Structure formats: structure tokens, C-alpha cells
Structure 1
Amino acid sequence: MLRGFLRKLGHEVFDAGTGEEGVALAEREGALDLVISDIRMPGIDGLEVLRRLRAMFPELAVLLATAFATYAQAVEAARAGAWDYLAKPLDLDDLRVKIWKIEGELGRDVGEASDTPGGDGFIAESPAMRDVLALLERAAPTDATILLLGESGVGKNVLAERIHERSKRADATFGVVSCAALPETLIESELFGHEKGAYTGADRARDGRFEAADGGTLFLDEIGEVPLATQVKLLRVLQERVVERIGASGKPINVDVRIIAATNSDLEAAVDAGTFRQDLFYRLNVVAVEVPPLRERRADIPPLIDAFLRSHTPEGQAPPALDEEAERVLLAHDYPGNVRELQNAIERAAILAQSGRITTMDLPPALTRSTPPPSAPADTLPAAVEDLERQYIAEALHETDGVQTRAAERLGITERNLRYKLQKYGLTSSRDSTG
């Protein structure tokens, strides 16, 4: 049942009868995206499978299935890096949602769409995203700390991996720590490791994520969620390039790790509020990159739709087509959940589509409820051209923070001509210089 369900979702599925077979299969196949493992099984149990797999593939997502989960097992699984639990008997709808969340968090579908613009699957048709990528291309080959800013779902995780792949550390480990997903009691052990006997249940020494990423890159997602006490230790790692395991009494351990951090919160406001250390903020804010929300880079929506349709279509089949109304709804929506929301909407539509055609009935209700009906078309061609010109000018002003000189350059017109058109269309600009 599970095998057939996963294949219907378009995934290639490999089976293993025991934990040992599963580990051997993963080592042989290499590029796996997700492992679903029972906890209780012959030979090594699911927790040991998890530990071995995460040692080989630090970014591999693992779901553990059990009918007998205890609190101790949950803590041990979290420490070992399990993505989540599946309760038995399996709820396939719950599994589908968890798979969607994994794809959204790790950005794997975007990364695997290698025939999309950019060669590596990252869509950047809009001027705003092209500016972001141009900045990251310059920063990637260096060891500079990079801080990615932007709303949840804009693709910060995908950009972090892109930076790593274009750095001199590309052949080394790319580690990811979701700071928001770790309870305060576990985050220091996760980041810095611990010695045997450091606390109750620490029956053996354990490397932290900094040690595991030595020579490579560590992506600290949602850095704003790190507790103040842990921020002090994190600052020391950035300043001195050493880590000290919990319970250690000897010399600190040297680490060579490039840091990329990301947040969807206002760190400067957090500094003012006393919830984020100012010195740590300055250490992280070496190269700050604001990733715009999808509603501010609408030129990226059509190619993203195409890429997601291809990635959610079984190999050998043609992607379903969008009918006119479904396309209008997808293009008009503001996407508060950004790229992740669009990806989930397309995956749902691809699953529900009948006869190779996507209609509004296949889209999430949130999209169809929030999209206004189409406005009446302009009566004449000149009026239609003016409507389009007004829209382009408004978008250019938004993307350049209202700086008329930059907006005029982006539009390919003179600043004087832009001022005339602003007056003509009743548009306003807060800034009239490069400021």
C-alpha cells in the first residue's frame, strides 16, 4: 500500500527488509531524498538506522514510523536528526502533508528541476531576483558570512545551498540546522555536541553540527530563534573558530566552517528589544541579502509554475495544462506563503487534475477565495497599452524602493520621461534621487 501510494505521488521507491539492508541500499544509491523507517524491526532498530544514515548523508530527511513511541524515544530521535514521526497505522493524508513540508523546507523540487532557467533549477526571471543572484554570485566564492533575510517560503534554503555549491567548499559538507525546530534544551547539544555523561541520558560523546560541517558550510535557518544563552556561545564560534562541547573539560575544538544564516524576523528590532545580541548581529550581517517575496517578483511565477508542474509529473508523462481561469487565479494570487505556497498549490492541482487539465476546482480554496474577478478589459488598444504601461512603472518603482533614477534605468527611459508618466498616471514616488 505504501509503495503504491508513494509511486502515485511520482516518487521512485526502493524497499529494504531490515535496517542493515536499508543502510546498505542508501549507501549504494546515494542520492535519496527521504527515508521512511519503522523503529522496531529485525536487526538494528530505526534509531540506529537514523544515526547511520545521518552520518553518511547529513541532509537526508528521515521519517520514523511506530505505534509505541515513548518520550525518551522522541528525544533520542530528535537528537539523532529525525524529521518527524509517523503514527501507525499510517495515515496516508498525514504522510502526504509531511512529504510536502519536507519538499518545501528543503526546496528539493526546485533544485531537481535542472531544465529550468539558471541550470540549477533556481528561477530568476524578475529583475529583483536577478539582482539577488548577482550579489550572491559575487559573495559565494569568498568565506564571508552571509545573512539571508526574507519571509518564510521565499527560498532562502535553496539560495543557501546555491551559495555553498558555488564556493570553494562545494565538495565538503553542507549542513542545515533549523533553529526554530529545536527545543532550548537540545539546541546547544545539537550545535556544539556533548561529552559522555554531560547530562542525564548522554551515554556517549557526540559531535555537534559545527564539528560535522568542518571544512564545509553550515546553514543556520531561523537564526532569530536561538536563545540568548546560546547566542553567546555561537558568537564565540564565529569570533574564535572553536567549539566547546557540553561537559568538556579539555581544550576547545578548532573548526573551519563557513556560516550562512537566515531569518524571517527583524533582527534589528530584536536587538532593540534585547532578545538578540547586537555583537552577534554584526558578526552575521557581513553580507546581508534581502530575498523579495513572490508577490514582488511576479515575473517569476509563470516559470515557477512550469517547473513545479514538470517536477510533479511522473516521468514519461506530459504535465497537465492549466485552463484559462486556473492560470488567472495562480498569476493573481499574492502568495503570503511565497514559493512554498505556490509549490504546494501546483502539487495539489497536479494530483487532482482530471484528463490532463487543471481547473480552479483543483486549486487550494485559499487561492480561489482570495483572487478577485478579472477587471473589465480596456475598450481600445491604446487604453490597454496605457494600463500595461502603468502596471510596469508601478512595479519598477516598487522594486527600486521608489528611487526614480533607478526605476528609469530599469524601464529604459529617461528620468524626465518617467516623471511625466508618473504625473500622467497619478503615480507617486517617495524618492527622486539615488539617495
Structure 2
Amino acid sequence: MKPVWIVDDDRSIRWVFEKALTRENIAYKTFSSAPEALEALEDQQPQIVVSDIRMPGNSGLTLLEKLKQHYPNLPVIIMTAYSDLESAVSAFQGGAYEYLPKPFDVDHAIELIRRAINESTDLENTIIDECLTPEILGQAPAMQEVFRAIGRLSQSTATVLITGESGTGKELVARALHRHSQRANKPFIAINTAAIPKELLESELFGHERGAFTGANTLRKGRFEQAEGGTLFLDEIGDMPSDLQTRLLRVLSDGHYYRVGGQAPIQSHVRIIAATHQNLEQRVNDGLFREDLYHRLNVIRIRIPSLHDRRDDIPLLARYFLQKSARELQVETKRFTDSAMAFLKNLPWRGNVRQLENLCHWVSVMAPGVSVDTADLPEDIKTISANDSNEKDINGTTNWQNALKHEVTSSLAQGEQRILNRLVTDFERILIEQALIHTAGKKIEAAHLLGWGRNTLTRKIQELGLEEDKSTNSGA
């Protein structure tokens, strides 16, 4: 691993870092000035840089600017005294990873360095050549199953049905299937069957002859013909009109089709990959989708997990999308703070990966600094109710641990102090109130259910200021 660079004209500060980093088995190099570090940069590269903001000659901000010119994704931690707070703001605007106020706690400094090392390592592993189409990102077990399926199908020409919620990346999976198949050097053609009016969809798919209908002034090749030898991706197949379902079934069965208005059959050598966010089995039962076509399409099925089912992938995806947006917009790559990332991981993500990508693009444009906290997120994200944030499990019961996690994350993001006292008080109040309701106000029974003695319950009621109504007294 590349070393951590410490840049400070104060010998005692360098000595503290040398001892602490040695103890933590973290490689390091120390420099007494910015020019010295910049000279070393000509033939060396650090993992991260920790630099003082005020030094003789070039300042830490100048060093930050030059480091970012050479290595835009290099984390730079700026050390600053309290009186340099305005300079610290400038440091963030210049792309600093974090600032470390002096005097600092050594353990906190090491923790900050370790976090920067981990994030920079992860970022290096997710940087993708801009000239290549990115593979699908994901480390969650459910996504590993998708990757394995793509690998197994690499030598197959079988029809594939991809299912999953809107925004989960079904087209990305279809493109990956094509890219890793023997048809990779042939066309990949995609069409969203729900986005094209019914009267135009037939011509879009199969093409038309000149004069086939009013306005058909020239022969037009359809998507099947354009995809010849390659892959045709039919997105939102569940919305295909019934008469076109019949024509598609005929192509899959007979291997040929006719242009609209055409008389000569055209042989088809196209692999079909279909996708839908709908329950096709239910649509078959409802008479909205042909059962025979369903079985033709459902040869191999790949299910794409929702983003809320792969929450551990959110940091990886967010880093990639922030990096992608920064390249497209030619701006500094931004990053989410730990509290903002914790907040994002607890959102419901009904728009799935597409919603996360859109958020990252918004952040790259609108967030004021490089470090993006919860307060910098758009209002529609911040105001999502905790009740919407995955508080219900698959059986519909309340998942109070997630609700508590959301409450803690939100309170920390707002800078609240003494969170534990407030939450414990609220927790005990709810327990007591519900226990008394359950026992019709009988304290002895309520105390027994809570695992307390009667005197403890009475004391808690007094401490919490709970009013004892008649029903409560009647059980005393």
C-alpha cells in the first residue's frame, strides 16, 4: 500500500504522527514543507495526504490545489487551528477530504486516516475506464447470483426473461448478457414496448414496405431486422398489445416474420431478451398476456433485486455515480459524509438504482461543497417519512430497529446532543403506556409484563410525568 504523507513544519506534530502510524502499522512519509512534498510527488504517489494549512512558503491550500491537479481523487486532510475556520471552508471548496482541528485527539486523527485509506482504496477499485461501458456494480449476495447467471449464459443463445422493479438495471443486465455472448460483435437493439403507441409498435418491430399505409413513403427496416445476428431487447414486455403478442409468438415459433404490408417472409436469427417489472404470471391469469408466449419467453429467468434488498451496495454505487457525474460535468468529485451515507442506506429507494443515480447527479450540480452531508440533500429526499424507510418487514409488521436507526441518523445529522437520554425516555414512556393500556391500567400486571417491580413502575410514572387517570388508579 502507498504511504500516508504528513506535511507540517512543526517537528512535534510530525513526531506524534510518526509514533501513532508506526503503532498502527500504517506506512508513512513526513515532510516539513509543501515544496518538499511537491518535489517528492514527481516520482512517488501517496495513499492520502495530511497537511497543515499554515506553513512557511507555500500554504496547505496551495499544496491541496496542486495535489488535486495531479490526482483528483486523492484524499487530502487539512489540519487547521480554530482561528483558521474560514480557511477550512476554503479547503473544502478546494476539494479537501476533511479537516482536522488543532489540537487534535491522536486516536481521532488515526480513525480519520483509516477511513480515508479505506475510501480511497474502494474508489480505486471502482474507477472504470471512461471509454468502456461499465459492468454492473454490486457486491451483495443477490447481485452475485445475477453475475453467476450472466456467466453461465455466456455460451448460450437461450431466450431470457429479466424481472425486477423499475430502475433496478434490467437493460444493463441485458447488455451484459449480449456483451458476454458469442453475438457480442453483432448489434444490440433495445425497444421499450410500453413507450411506443400501439399503432406504431408493429412497424417499429417488424418494419414496413413502401406504401403499406398512409405516410409509408419508403421501405423501413424494423428492430428485428436491425438486430439480425445479434440481440433484441424487449423492455416492458408485459405491456405489449395482445395482437402483437401473437406476432411475436409466431416469430419465436417459426423463426421468421413479415414486414407490415410485406409478402415475403424474412428469416430471423435474433436472440430475444425480454424484461418486465410486472407479474407476468398474474397477467396470464388475468387474460392480459398469452400463456404460450409467457412460456416461450420464460426459458431462463433472471431476477434483479431491488436496491432496498442490497443496501450494502449503496456506498459502492454512490461513489461510482458521483465519479461519473463529475466526469460528465467536469467538476470536482463529491462524496457523502458518513451520516449522509447512513441516512441514504435507510431510504426506501422506490426508484431503485436509477433514483440513486439521479440523486448523485443532483448532488454533483447543487451541493455547495465537496463533502455532502444530510442537510445538503434535496428536500424531497430529506422529508421522506421514517415510516416509508423500510420500517415494515415482508410480513407487514413494524421493524422498529430500522425506525430507531433512522431516528438516530436523522438526530445526529441535525447536530442533536444527548440523544440517548431522549430516546431512552421516549422508549420507556411508550412501554409503560402500552403496558397499562394492555392491562386496563392495572399496575401490578403491567409491571410484571415489563419485568419491573410495582414500586419501579410507580417511580417511572412519576419521573416521566405520566398522568394517572381513573383506570390507572383503579388498578393500584
If the length of structure 2 is used for normalisation, what is the TM-score? 0.53
Q: Which amino acid aligns with 2:272?
A: I
- Where does residue 334 of structure 1 map in the other structure? 348
- Where does residue 244 of structure 2 map in the other structure? 230
**1:268 counterpart (258, 267, 281):** 281
Contact 1:195 1:205 in 2 (8 A): yes
**1:159 counterpart (173, 178, 190):** 173
* Aligned-partner Cα distance in 2 for 1:212–1:288: 25
- Where does residue 270 of structure 2 map in the other structure? 257
* Aligned-partner Cα distance in 2 for 1:115–1:252: 43
- Where does residue 306 of structure 1 map in the other structure? 319
Alpha carbons of structure 1 residues 119 and 303: separation in structure 2 relative to 1, 3 Å: farther
- The 5-angstrom pairing of residues 314-393 of structure 1 reads 314=327, 318-370=332-384, 371=386, 372-374=406-408
> Is residue 148 of structure 1 aligned with residue 162 of structure 2?
yes
- Where does residue 389 of structure 2 map in the other structure? none
* Aligned-partner Cα distance in 1 for 2:319–2:407: 23
- Where does residue 170 of structure 1 map in the other structure? 184
| Secondary structure of 1:328 counterpart | helix
> Is residue 289 of structure 1 aligned with residue 289 of structure 2?
no
* Aligned-partner Cα distance in 2 for 1:113–1:142: 30
Q: Deviations over 1:381-434 (max 9, x none)?
A: xxxxxxxxxxxxxxxxxxxxxxxxxxxxxxxxxxxxxxxxxxxxxxxxxxxxxx
Q: Deviations over 1:250-284 (max 9, x none)?
A: x2000100010000001010101111000000000
* Aligned-partner Cα distance in 1 for 2:232–2:140: 28
Percent same amino acid among aligned pairs? 41
* Aligned-partner Cα distance in 2 for 1:369–1:152: 22
> Is residue 278 of structure 1 aligned with residue 291 of structure 2?
yes
Shift of 1:121: 3.5
- State which drifts further: 269-278 or 326-335: 326-335
- Where does residue 255 of structure 2 map in the other structure? 241
Which blocks of at least 5 consecutive residues in structure 1 are unaligned?
1-111, 380-435
**1:201 counterpart (215, 240, 252):** 215
Contact 2:170 2:304 in 1 (8 A): yes
* Aligned-partner Cα distance in 1 for 2:191–2:133: 26
Shift of 1:317: 5.6
* Aligned-partner Cα distance in 2 for 1:290–1:196: 41
Contact 2:138 2:317 in 1 (8 A): no
Q: Deviations over 1:331-359 (max 9, x none)?
A: 21110000000000111011112232223
Alpha carbons of structure 1 residues 366 and 140: separation in structure 2 relative to 1, 3 Å: farther
* Aligned-partner Cα distance in 2 for 1:238–1:149: 20
Shift of 1:314: 3.4
* Aligned-partner Cα distance in 2 for 1:123–1:194: 40
- Where does residue 106 of structure 1 map in the other structure? none
> Is residue 212 of structure 1 aligned with residue 226 of structure 2?
yes
* Aligned-partner Cα distance in 2 for 1:360–1:262: 35
- State which drifts further: 310-319 or 285-294: 310-319
Q: Deviations over 1:210-244 (max 9, x none)?
A: 01100000000000111000000000111111110
Shift of 1:365: 2.3
Which blocks of at least 5 consecutive residues in structure 2 are unaligned?
1-125, 387-405, 413-418, 421-476
Q: Which amino acid aligns with 2:315?
A: P
- Alignment RMSD, CA only? 2.4
Q: Which amino acid aligns with 1:281?
A: Y
Q: Which amino acid aligns with 1:271?
A: V
- Where does residue 396 of structure 1 map in the other structure? none
Q: Which structure has more RCO (C-alpha within 8 Å, separation ≥ 6)?
A: 1
Contact 2:209 2:259 in 1 (8 A): yes
Contact 1:115 1:121 in 2 (8 A): no
* Aligned-partner Cα distance in 1 for 2:289–2:133: 38
Shift of 1:318: 4.3
**2:202 counterpart (188, 203, 219):** 188
* Aligned-partner Cα distance in 1 for 2:152–2:296: 19
Shift of 1:114: 2.1
Q: Which amino acid aligns with 2:296?
A: R
Q: Deviations over 1:123-155 (max 9, x none)?
A: 121011101110121013200000000000000
Shift of 1:119: 9.3
Q: Which amino acid aligns with 1:208?
A: G
Alpha carbons of structure 1 residues 278 and 113: separation in structure 2 relative to 1, 3 Å: farther
Q: Which amino acid aligns with 1:278?
A: E
* Aligned-partner Cα distance in 1 for 2:288–2:127: 39
* Aligned-partner Cα distance in 1 for 2:181–2:288: 32
Q: Which amino acid aligns with 2:215?
A: G
Contact 2:135 2:176 in 1 (8 A): no
Contact 1:348 1:362 in 2 (8 A): no
* Aligned-partner Cα distance in 1 for 2:310–2:370: 28
Contact 2:307 2:353 in 1 (8 A): yes
Contact 1:147 1:289 in 2 (8 A): yes
Contact 2:367 2:377 in 1 (8 A): no
| Secondary structure of 1:152 counterpart | coil
Shift of 1:366: 2.8
Q: Deviations over 1:82-134 (max 9, x none)?
A: xxxxxxxxxxxxxxxxxxxxxxxxxxxxxx96269x99431121011101110
- The 5-angstrom pairing of residues 96-115 of structure 1 reads 114=128
- State which drifts further: 274-283 or 137-146: 137-146
Alpha carbons of structure 1 residues 119 and 253: separation in structure 2 relative to 1, 3 Å: closer
**1:134 counterpart (137, 140, 148):** 148
Matched pairs, number:
266
Q: Which amino acid aligns with 1:373?
A: E
